[in-house]
Structures are given as C-alpha cells and as structure tokens.
Amino acid sequence: MYRFIAGVFLLSAMLGAPPALGCPAPSTNQRPAMQNISHPGDFQVIEFRRYQIKSGGRSRFVAYFESFFPEAFQQLGALALGQFSERGNQDGFTWLRGFMSMDERAIVNSAFYYGPVWKEHRTRLNDLIVDSDNVLLLRPLRRDSGVSVLPAVDPVCETGGAQGVVVAQIFALKAGDVELFARQAASAFDAYQAAGMRQAGLLVTLDAKNNFPQLPVRTDGLYLVWLGIARDDRQLETDFYPLADRAARQLAGDGLLRSAPELVILDPARRSRLRWLAE
C-alpha cells in the first residue's frame, strides 16, 4: 500500500501539477486565446499619457497604479486600455485611457479625481510624478481603428503577467493632411501586419476643447499614431525594425510631416490589457 501511494506521488511529480481549473492545457506558459477582442466604436476618445516618474520610482508607481486604478476607471465607464514601461527612458511610464465620448471624459474624470479612490492615494502617487502633461488626446482615424480592447489579465491562468511588446509610431502631421498621409502610410502599416505584428489602433489627434482642464493635453499640432503588438524582442528586431526604419524614411520624404516620426517601445506592465495573446 505504501509503495502504491509513493508511486502515485512520484507519477504526479513527473507529470506536473494539473492545470488550474478553467485554464488552457497542456502548456504552463499558454495564455488565453485571441478571443473577445475587438476594435469597438465605444471608446471614441483616447488619452495617450506619457509620464516622467522620479528617478528610481517607476516600479513603485506601476505597482500602486495597477493595484488601485484599473477597476476604478472601469466602474465609472472608462477603461485603462494598457499601461507600460517605456524603453530608453528608465523613468517613463505610458498608459492609454479610453472614454466613450468627450462628455463622458468630463464626467468620468470629475467622478474619479474628486472621488474617494484618488483622494486616498493621490499624495503617494503625485509624490512619484515629475511630469504628467505629455498627453495626446486622440480618436480612432476610422470607426474600426480604435484601440483593441483585450480581456483583463487572468490572475489564475496568466501567472507570468502580460506578455509581448507594444510599439507606438507617432507621426507629426502638417494641418489638413491626415487622409492623404493615411493613404500613403497604408502600405507600410500593411507590411507590419504581414510581418506578424498585430495592429492595435490607428489614431489621430481629436480636435476638441479640453473639457477637463485640470488634466492638460498637448496642443502643439496634429498627430497620427499607429499602435502595434509584437510577440517578443526577436520579432521586433528581426521583422519590425527594418520595416519601420524604411517607412519612416519614405514617409518623411513625402513632405507631409512636421518632424521625423517617433518610435516608442513599450513593455506591458503585469496587468496591462494591451499585450500579446496566443492565437
């Protein structure tokens, strides 16, 4: 009998622990499939927020942010679409927030920033922020090009947290050239996807008065932002970078840009919705 029990334990150890209830099998690294993913028309207002955090404080800021705020925004009708550490800027934290309309932006921001969650934690968070004014107020270029709304990270099945690498290619456009530029850039964006990148949004500056002036937004011109997701650094370096460099040179030479395109590389925080998911 003892030999039988010992054999059972040995077999269990060899096979590994069973997958958590409801999680995909057999790979322990497997992540939720690309399901329930859309480019919805719900979030027509997107804040692309790039913060500078006090030196050495970014990991603390991310931990506080992810612990307290995503569900607070969601319950008010907005959504933290993704939050990231910015590569090449050790104190850079970037996140995207979506609202259904400009009216909803004013309502939700008022409810949050004058509400109990922010009041309880604002001193700790503000003490870590050097600058929070680098914000692009954007809208989807087309109805179906909004930021992908991915499922929340599953704390049971996605034990490693959010995976992949997110990129933002930012183009400073001359006034009135949005549609023309979008047509000229379409082949480059198609090439990114053909190389295995996943488009996560195509956004343009929203021409609207800031209806919550307590949160400044940039007013320095017109921008178009392409968002994409890479599986890993190898795909980024091998497949995406050469195409992005070529596209940047070509599009800069068309005379529609005010400055060279900016490429921002973003590592998803542990709970970031915007991330790489398995097929």
Residue 206 lies in a domain: yes
Residue 26 lies in a domain: no
pLDDT tier for residue 175 given thresholds of 50, 70 and 90: confident
Lowest-confidence region among 10-14, 173-177, 248-252: 10-14
E strand or H helix that includes residue 61: helix 58-68
How far is it, in rounded angstroms, from Cα 200 to Cα 188?
15
Residue 2 lies in a domain: no
Residue 30 lies in a domain: no
Domain count, the chain: 1
Residue 145 lies in a domain: yes
Q: Which among 65, 94, 70 is positioned nearest to 170, based on CA atoms?
A: 94
Distances (CA, A) of 2 to 7, 13, 105: 8, 17, 66
8 Å CB contact between 235 and 197 = yes
Whether 14 has a pLDDT exceeding 80, the answer reads no
For the range 62-68, what are the long-range contacts, defined as Cβ-Cβ under 8 Å and sequence gap of 24 or more? 62/93, 62/269, 62/270, 64/121, 64/124, 64/125, 64/128, 65/93, 65/95, 65/125, 65/269, 66/269, 66/270, 66/271, 68/117, 68/121
8 Å CB contact between 227 and 167 = yes
What integer pLDDT is reported at residue 19 of this predicted model? 53
CA angle 227–30–162, rounded 5-degree value: 40
Q: Which among 109, 98, 106, 80 is positioned nearest to 43, based on CA atoms?
A: 98
E strand or H helix that includes residue 8: helix 2-15
pLDDT cut 90: percent of the chain above it? 81
In this structure, which amino acid lies at residue 33?
A
Residue 156 lies in a domain: no
Could you list the residue range(s) of the whole structural domain that residue 228 is in? 40-151+161-268
Question: Can you tell me the mean pLDDT for 185-204?
Answer: 97
Say which CATH number the domain at 227 has: 3.30.70.100
pLDDT tier for residue 109 given thresholds of 50, 70 and 90: very high
